[in-house]
Structure 1
Amino acid sequence: MKQFVGIGYRKDFGEDFLHSEILQPSFIELAPENWMNIGGYWKKVLRRLSEKYPITAHGLSLSIGSPDELDWNFLEQVKNFLKDYDVTVYSEHLSYSKCDNAHLYDLLPIPFRFDAVKHIVERIKQVQDFLQRKITMEIVSYYTPVAAEMSEAEFVNEIINGSGCNLLLDVNNIYVNAFNHNYDAHKFIDQLPLDKVAYIHMAGHEKVADDLIIDTHGQPIIDPVYKLFEYTINKLETPVPVLLERDFNIPEFEELAFEMSKLENICKKSWSFSYAS
């Protein structure tokens, strides 16, 4: 049976992951910044991972919304990494993380403005031309809007359609944003260019106050997010890869396998037409 659910590989997994009969993802995701130009022991692990699993790459440093010039040396390294490991999907964040050559080490929101749309569309086109592939942009979680001139959904549509890139739906991010900013997550998803969705992320979060959720990727997925996931994939005409993210508080493999199994079962139910023995 075809499977769709992968997992973000973390060095905490070590070599145990390569020999595990408990965790059997259909692919793994890596942050290229953590693996480019690596040598020694981890270079050997990376090669073995690539021989066993298809790899997707989820970047952290593109900073597509930054006013700074694109880092072409960095992009050259990314391009080589994607080629060397036959990466199937390269995704990044619809955010910025550096300005005036200062790296902020966070994914900061971009103002929902027309000038920002024009700026980002042009930069995505430049990146895609350089990499000779479409990139997939993720809607990030954010905690305050900045000088908005349009809705978030309009902003996302303008960028995706204007640049020709694909869309990464992090369902947990949408749940978090909807909760924190008091809007309907289902209606938000309905407004997105769902025909451009090429990748889905699923993760956990932490509720820190009655009116605030923090996107941590350090907790199990909660039932309302599973339900929003099922709603989302039922809207898609074509199955796409689904990733389980867990960045810290890494549990035993059995717990990760349980979450992956739940996601796989939802996919199987929703995408039964695409499963073939």
Structure 2
Amino acid sequence: MTTTLTAGLGLKPQHFDQALRCDAPGIWYEVHPENYLVAGGPRLAWLEAVRARHPLSLHGVSLSLAAAQGPDPQRLRALAELVRRVQPALVSEHLAWSTWRGRYYPDLLPVPRTRATLDCIAANIGRLQDALGRRIAIENPSHYVSLPHTWGETDFLAELARRSGCGLLVDINNAHVSAHNLGDDAGAWLDALPAGAIMEVHLAGHRPDAGGQLLVDSHDSAVAPAVWALFRRLCDRIGPVPTLIERDGDIPPFAELLREREQAHAILLSDGKGIRALRPRAIPPGADRVLRETA
């Protein structure tokens, strides 16, 4: 099984057999754990078959870590059981909320970056890391409107990582989309991130909205040239980190995704600094953790 990770792919059901047989150096696969929170059956058996040959990453979409209420304890227990079962190389979630008064919504919604939301999110991340017994990575969201923030985004992410001990999953497409929509500089945004906190990178495609004014983080097209350029810029500054190609709509054949993955793999190897082996990590000792009640 591969032990050093370079570029990976989001694992889709129609590609299971090809993904299982693929022997590309450094390849790994990401899945949404919500699709595998079951006690048994063919879906989980197939995931374990892939895990026997390739490293996995679990990328959550439903814990709603930016919500005022803490993560659902039952969902935390189910996720912890899946983590114990498949031993993923990385576990990650979004800096967003998707629950309100017991209801789940289909969007990953942003929040104003204030001291109160920082306290809430850091505490929720702490609950998640305690449940899993490992460090997780948090993904930056896409932005479409300006909210009443009191923190700049990179400062907020850096402080969140410092306080909770989490790492960062840097979605470069999200950064590009947000910069376009809000009139910011994506390159300067990337330059301001704390290099030591970055655990993973995501690359994906986007499209313009119907009015042609906004970019939408659609994950239904190839990675855009501007996003590749930002990826090279980040790698030049911090060195290579495990990088995922995301595709969730208009899914092409596996061979086409693999070619895009090879482009990311080549960039990661091009600076001669070597690739970080991504392994399960404990919560770092001495992190300035937020006091919280045990869920």
User: Is the structural similarity TM-score above 0.5?
Assistant: yes
**Partner SS for 2:38:** coil
Does the alignment pair 1:63 with 2:71?
A: no
Distance in 2 between residues matched to 1:115 and 1:99, nearest whole Å: 17
The reply to whether residue 119 of structure 1 matches residue 139 of structure 2 is: no
Unaligned runs of 5+ in 1: none
- Percent of pairs identical after alignment? 30
Aligned residue in 2 for 1:145 = 146
Rounded Cα–Cα distance in structure 2 between residues aligned with 1:203 and 1:142: 15
CA distance in 2, matches of 1:27, 1:16: 13
Amino acid at match of 2:38: N
Q: Is the 8 A contact 1:109 1:145 kept in 2?
A: no
Structure 2 residue identity aligned to 1:226:
W
8 Å CA contact 2:141, 2:174 repeated in 1: yes
Contact 2:7 2:245 in 1 (8 A): yes
In 1, the alpha carbon distance for the partners of 2:18 and 2:163 equals 44
Amino acid at match of 2:232: E
Q: Is the 8 A contact 1:7 1:25 kept in 2?
A: no
Q: Is the 8 A contact 2:57 2:91 kept in 1?
A: yes
Q: Deviations over 1:106-125 (max 9, x none)?
A: 10001111111111112212
Partner of 2:214: 212
* Matched residue, 2:160: 159
User: Are the aligned partners of 2:70 and 2:124 in contact in 1 as well (CA < 8 Å)?
Assistant: no
Cross-structure match for 2:267: 266
Instruction: Give yes or no for contact 1:108–1:142 (8 Å, CA) kept in 2.
Output: no
Residue of structure 2 in register with 1:231 after alignment: 233
Output the CA distance in 2 between the equivalents of 1:19 and 1:158.
41
Q: Work out the CA distance in 2 between the residues paired with 1:123 and 1:69.
A: 6
Q: Is the 8 Å Cα contact of residues 146 and 182 (structure 2) preserved in structure 1?
A: no
For residues 174-253 of structure 1, the aligned pairs below 5 Å read 174-208=175-209, 209-237=211-239, 239-253=240-254
Distance in 2, matches of 1:38 and 1:251, equals 31
1-side partners of 2:192 and 2:86: how far apart?
Answer: 35
Conservation of the 8 A alpha-carbon contact between 1:111 and 1:145: no
**Structure 2, unaligned stretches of length 5 or more?**
276-295
Q: Distance in 2 between matches of 1:149 and 1:273?
A: 37
Normalising to structure 1: TM-score of the pair? 0.92
RMSD value, Cα: 2.0
Name the aligned partner's letter for residue 218 of structure 1.
D
